[in-house]
Structure 1
Amino acid sequence: MNLRPKRRPVPMIPIVSLIDIMVILLIFFVATTTFKKDKTQMKIKLPESKSLGGSASAADTRVAISIDEKQNIFLDGKPVELEKMAAAIGALKQKDPGVKLELQADTTAALGVLVKVYDALREAGYNISDMPTRIQRAAP
């Protein structure tokens, strides 16, 4: 009769293969985070404060391009034909090179008219992304 307990073998953990897996995961995470690009969905121009050092000048006032519910186009309150829109905007830009525009369109304005106005703006040398747009509700 053998009263001595049997020695159990000490379990061995294969640490070398765990280190290999950890290094591969580290390389994967480093590589994937460097390929991430910041994508902005919209451009936002933040408001400026008069009391915090920003001063409003005459160039900050905007000239409105308005489209009413009958698809009539107005540049600074004056009616303009769609075919002469680019020439009128170009003349306005020559008169005051720092002039800024904004588009005010009625909710019932046709998309085709808006696209033609944008084409006229590009033809006159304006960047569409710098021009704010306001949609107006139709009068009841």
Structure 2
Amino acid sequence: MNFRPRRRDEPEINLIPFIDVLLVVLIFLMLSTTYSKFTELQLRLPEADAETQRDYPKELIVSITSEGRYAINKAPAPAQSEALSMALAEAAKGGRESVLIISADANATHQSVITVMEAARRIGLTQITFATQTPASAKTR
């Protein structure tokens, strides 16, 4: 019998296979992860103070209802883009220096506002602003 203590080999941890497995898992997670898009944005829209409103001598006011009807300086206007361009050109007394004020209903579609902006671009109106209302909290002061 051999009672001499045997020399035991120290266990050795090989890190290379461990790193390989971690890289494979990392690549799998990167490829399978879907980057979520915001489905709902929390927006806080700006408010305007009516006291700071400027007076434009050559202003052209285009009103847009929630149903998509247009009015230029309180006169009904056509809804077609080309006809709206011609109506804007006739109403613009100051020519290209006229300021276009878009007064759109809060429930008006984005397309109806873009239609007015496109009609203004066609006739060369470059100064465009949007009408707002005073917030309810400012009215009570």
The TM-score, its normalising length taken from structure 1, stands at 0.48
Higher RCO (CA-CA < 8 Å; seq separation 6+): 2
The TM-score, its normalising length taken from structure 2, stands at 0.48
